[in-house]
Structure 1
Amino acid sequence: MAKVSELYDVTWEEMRDKMRKWRDENSRNSEQIVEVGEELINEYASKLGDDIWIIYEQVMIAALDYGRDDLALFCLQELRRQFPGSHRVKRLTGMRFEAMERYDDAIQLYDRILHEDPTNTAARKRKIAIRKAQGKNVEAIRELNEYLEQFVGDQEAWHELAELYINEHDYGKAAFCLEELMMTNPHNHLYCQQYAEVKYTQGGLENLELSRKYFAQALKLNNRNMRALFGNTADYPVLRFKNSFTLHFTTAQFSLLACDLIY
């Protein structure tokens, strides 16, 4: 198989910089990371200096995603030799257990990490990911609530909790999570749109009125949000019987016209 450097006529420095760019962008192009990273590790490890360790980690995670357990294990062994006892390396070991579907072993490992360092957010999130992978949404919700008691400002966790509540059809609690997100990030049109969808699903005139308002707010923040445009038209058939019939009809007409223009 041709080397990446020969195939694309790039230097090892360019390959290193590409790996850094993918890290900064949090790209999940696992196949490319494995191809470029494996060549860097095999051919240029001595030239990479301290960058080699972050590349080992990056390649290992991509290798797990790409089904290259042999490469993942090699990277993990190198990291263990360099950083024995590191919680970060232990977490990578847990991720390999997850890829092998050894979920109990992974959870035991994460529990040991948390016993030594209760503030280790990465280990907590891996436990939650396992519960979700096992389809144990109730346990994942419990773990997330415990996590948010300590790290209330984690927006990603609030959104994940909202999604879990939606999956469990607990729309009241999902709405609460989305309200928390909108308070901290009021200019995010996606939060407004999702909150409107939850209120629409809950039903009842009061919730539908709120739904219409938040679909409108989502459109104000991003007038190309198609779900919010369709949401506005979906609210109209019920709300047309209220006193604000003309307003709702006009809004629905506008939304339909906007959809036609976009498409």
Structure 2
Amino acid sequence: NRLIILPDVRDQFRTWREETGRHSEEVVQLWVAVLEDKVHKTGNERHLILEQVIIAALDTARFDIATECTKQLALEFPGSLRVMKFKAMRYEALEQYDEADEVLDAIIAKDETNAAPRKRKIAILKARGRRLEAIKELNEYLKKFMSDQETWHELCNMYLAEGEFGKAAFCMEEVLLHNPHSHLIHQRLAEIRYTMGGVENMESARTYYSQALKLNPHNLRALYGIYLCCNQLDNSRAVSSKRKELQKLSQWALEQLLSKQTIVPLEAAFGNLEIKSN
């Protein structure tokens, strides 16, 4: 085996950082084998390497390594919010949630515009099974960071788990404001409205399914959703003129579904077919 030398390890760590790959086990192994006693020789990349090792050590439950690297950073940057973040991550990984909360509160007190520690506090509530408190905190968070689409998605999922479909629909409508051309968001909103039931929600679901299909003509779920909505509305107390329109749309959706269900397997089969001449 070729001797592993410091410049090679430093370059490999840099490559992993640039690729945004974690490679946690390999990072820890190289730290123990090469870098632990030589990290001071890595120049201006030293702090980046220490942070990289902390994350990898927490991923692999090497809390001793995470603690040692965090201490090295803390000596150079006492009171640093980044160092405090790593301390909170270590407590969280150890399931010492009260201690993690204290550190996160201290970070928020120093920088109220920092969204990350607030989100970690919510994650801790979820990890402790305190779902209703997590929902409350998510709502408070979104009052300050209204454009955080990921959190609107998360709150939507939590409301769905609690059976709060109306509130879940509101969350997805907020996401839709930022992504009006996403067929998947239209589809998700349609599915929530369909689940809620009732004529008004069914009409709304049909509209969202139709928009999803318009944005992506290959969306079979949206096509099937249109078919289901039309059938549900046709069985309701719809006026006769409306029922004819619904039946026509339902028949069209069914024909499209049947044709696509036939085409998709054929495309898959012929796509893998290799034709050879003798």
TM-score category, normalised to shorter length:
0.7 to 0.9
Given candidates 16, 20, 28, the residue that maps to 2:17 is 20
Contact 1:12 1:44 in 2 (8 A): no
- Give the count of matched residue pairs: 256
Deviation at 1:205, TM superposition (A): 2.3
Deviation at 1:181, TM superposition (A): 0.8
In structure 2, runs of 5+ residues without a counterpart are: 236-242, 266-278
* DSSP-derived class of the 1:11 partner: helix
Q: Which residue of 2 aligns with 1:255?
A: 257
Deviation at 1:229, TM superposition (A): 4.7
- Shift in alpha-carbon separation, 1:14–1:216, aligned structure 2, 3 A: farther
Query: Per-residue displacement from partner, 1:123-155 (whole Å, max 9, x unpaired)?
Result: 101101101111211111111111111111111
Deviation at 1:194, TM superposition (A): 1.4
RMSD: 2.8
Query: Per-residue displacement from partner, 1:98-144 (whole Å, max 9, x unpaired)?
Result: 11111111112211222232222111011011011112111111111
Query: Per-residue displacement from partner, 1:21-67 (whole Å, max 9, x unpaired)?
Result: 232xxx45543454466667437634543332223223322321222
TM-score (normalised: structure 2): 0.80
Q: Which residue of 1 aligns with 2:240?
A: none
For 1:160-175, what aligned pairs fall within 5 Å after superposition? 160-175=154-169
- The answer to whether residue 71 in structure 2 is matched with residue 71 in structure 1 is no
* DSSP-derived class of the 2:54 partner: helix
Contact 1:233 1:255 in 2 (8 A): no
Q: Which residue of 2 aligns with 1:50?
A: 44
Given candidates 108, 130, 133, the residue that maps to 1:136 is 130
Given candidates 242, 248, 259, the residue that maps to 1:246 is 248
Contact 1:94 1:110 in 2 (8 A): yes
Deviation at 1:190, TM superposition (A): 2.3
Contact 2:160 2:168 in 1 (8 A): yes
Q: Which residue of 2 aligns with 1:109?
A: 103
* Separation (CA, whole Å) in 2 of partners of 1:37 and 1:199: 52
Does 191-200 or 232-241 show the bigger shift? Answer: 232-241
Letter in 2 for 1:245: Q
Letter in 1 for 2:79: G
* Separation (CA, whole Å) in 2 of partners of 1:259 and 1:40: 57
- Between the aligned residues of both structures, percent identity stands at 43
* Separation (CA, whole Å) in 1 of partners of 2:161 and 2:128: 14
In structure 1, runs of 5+ residues without a counterpart are: none
* Separation (CA, whole Å) in 1 of partners of 2:196 and 2:98: 37
TM-score (normalised: structure 1): 0.84
* Separation (CA, whole Å) in 2 of partners of 1:93 and 1:140: 22
* Separation (CA, whole Å) in 2 of partners of 1:62 and 1:224: 41
Deviation at 1:183, TM superposition (A): 0.8
Q: Which residue of 1 aligns with 2:272?
A: none
Q: Which residue of 2 aligns with 1:92?
A: 86
- The answer to whether residue 207 in structure 2 is matched with residue 213 in structure 1 is yes
* Separation (CA, whole Å) in 2 of partners of 1:174 and 1:37: 45
Contact 1:60 1:75 in 2 (8 A): yes
